[in-house]
Chain A
Amino acid sequence: MTEPNIRILLAKLGLDGHDRGLKVVARLLRDAGMEVIYLGLRQTAESIVAAAEQEDADAIGLSMHNAGHLTLAPRMVAALAVAELEIPVIVGGIVPDEDVAALRDAGVAAVLGPGAPAEEVVDVVRRAVDQRRSTG
């Protein structure tokens, strides 16, 4: 049996309205054969958890441009843990290199820097999902 399609939620957490990158990533992942559930702007950790349950998502991609990543991304991870959902969270957007370790420590599965090439984006998502499927 072939691997089921990857279903990934893409969202902007909080008030930040920069959705250019998120839309580009949405198309890129679709073109890589994934099913992208696009939640768009102004999501909260709670609304993303609710969507992840209903959509049976394999991964969650967050795009962050407002320097709020150190506050908001760990909240997302914690909200998933409370809901007992083991879904990898991948963060992209503007994240300074020195914050990557802190995000990883907080449980973020991967961080994609600005200008990450398409192959890397697809690859990071695939690896995060593969890891979840093999352990879960």
Chain B
Amino acid sequence: MNTESSRSPVDEVFGRAAAGERRAVGRLLSIVEAGGPQADEVTELTHGRTGTAHIVGITGAPGAGKSTLTGQLVAHIVACGGRPAVLAVDPSSPLTGGAILGDRIRMDDLAGGDVFIRSMATRGHSGGLALAVPAALRVLAAAGYDPVIVETVGVGQVEVDVAGTADTTVVVVTPGTGDAVQANKAGLLEVADVFVVNKADRPGASDTRRDLELMLDLSHLSGLDAAAGRRPPIVMSDALQGAGATEVWAEVVAHRAWLVANDRLEGRRASRSRHEVRVRVEQLLEADVDALLAAPSGQQLLDSVAAGELSPAAAAHTLRSDLLAAD
């Protein structure tokens, strides 16, 4: 139990991180990633101290060239005097929980200057990721990094959500692989604020661009800002040759300016908070439900369902009443 006079260990690390000590930032990220009470403490400490850092999501299919593009963007941002951080999220093996995180390779080399790159494995907990990522982004923002970029593989709802709750979301597709169609199916079109057709020197790049234009034409809902009359721009780039990063970043910055000019930035952030609160409530409730089911009364209910005396739906309603009455 903390007293007024002694700082908790987490508070002490936070102080060092806020002062710019990289090692402390690294430690805080491990704490939020592990979850639990200490992670909640970090969340308390960073809440409201994240300043105005621009949160940018970058997502797309595996092999679309996201980390190369991210590396180019980071180099460009540093050259413009920015202090960027990157959170690179990669899947853990569902079998062993282990992961190989190799995204630094293509960023490190470019990341001269004050750049912070952190690799994060999904650790098989989709719910955990939905909490750990926003918490990690807040740590990086609170440590003074701006912009803060989160890069995820655009497969799976949680990854899409994570990227999609950024201030600005960049969706990367490549020519010739049906990537545009796949991106549409994966729900990436709905979250895209900026499209990048990477490897634009490849044959089929202009076809891919046309596919995207067509899908944008057909979709009344495409882009979070479609209702406000904004159509996501499509940038052609070739990250491997270092071409297009400047243009991509210009569109990202323009999108943020547009959000601010149209009073939509706060709305974005509110919906992000709402999403996070919702995930947290779900997690809390999940634990409560498990406890209820394990209790004798819960066990009785389950037995009745198994014996055919009670329908699952009726049992669930009873349990919810118990849950609401519990506090």
Contacts and interface: CB of A to CB of B under 8 A. Distances in A.
Contact of B26 (A27, A34, A38, A53): A53
Contacts of A26: 100
Contact of A33 (B27, B36, B96, B116): B96
Contacts of B117: 51, 54
Interface in A80-110: 83-85
Given A4-B34, A36-B101, A53 B23 contact: yes
Interface string A29-42: 11111111111100
Nearest to A32: B98
A4 to B, nearest CB: 5
Nearest to B88: A37
Contacts of B22: 50, 53-54
B104 A5 contact: no
Interface stretch (B118-126, B174-182, B188-196, B309-317): B118-126
Contact of A34 (B30, B98, B102, B105): B98
A26 B34 CA distance: 22
Interface string A13-54: 000000000000011011111111111100000010011011
A31 B212 CA distance: 39
A39 B101 CA distance: 9
Given A4-B34, A56-B26, A56-B30, A51 B108 contact: yes
Residue of A33, A34, A37 most packed against chain B (CB within 10 A): A37
B318 interface: no
Contacts of B123: 5
Residue of A29, A32, A36, A85 most packed against chain B (CB within 10 A): A36
Given A4-B30, A54-B116, A54-B117, A37 B104 contact: yes
B294 interface: no
B153 interface: no
B267 interface: no
Interface of A: 1, 4-5, 7, 26-27, 29-40, 47, 50-51, 53-56, 83-85
- The list of the 6 closest CB pairs from A to B, nearest first, reads A30-B98, A56-B26, A38-B102, A56-B30, A53-B22, A53-B23
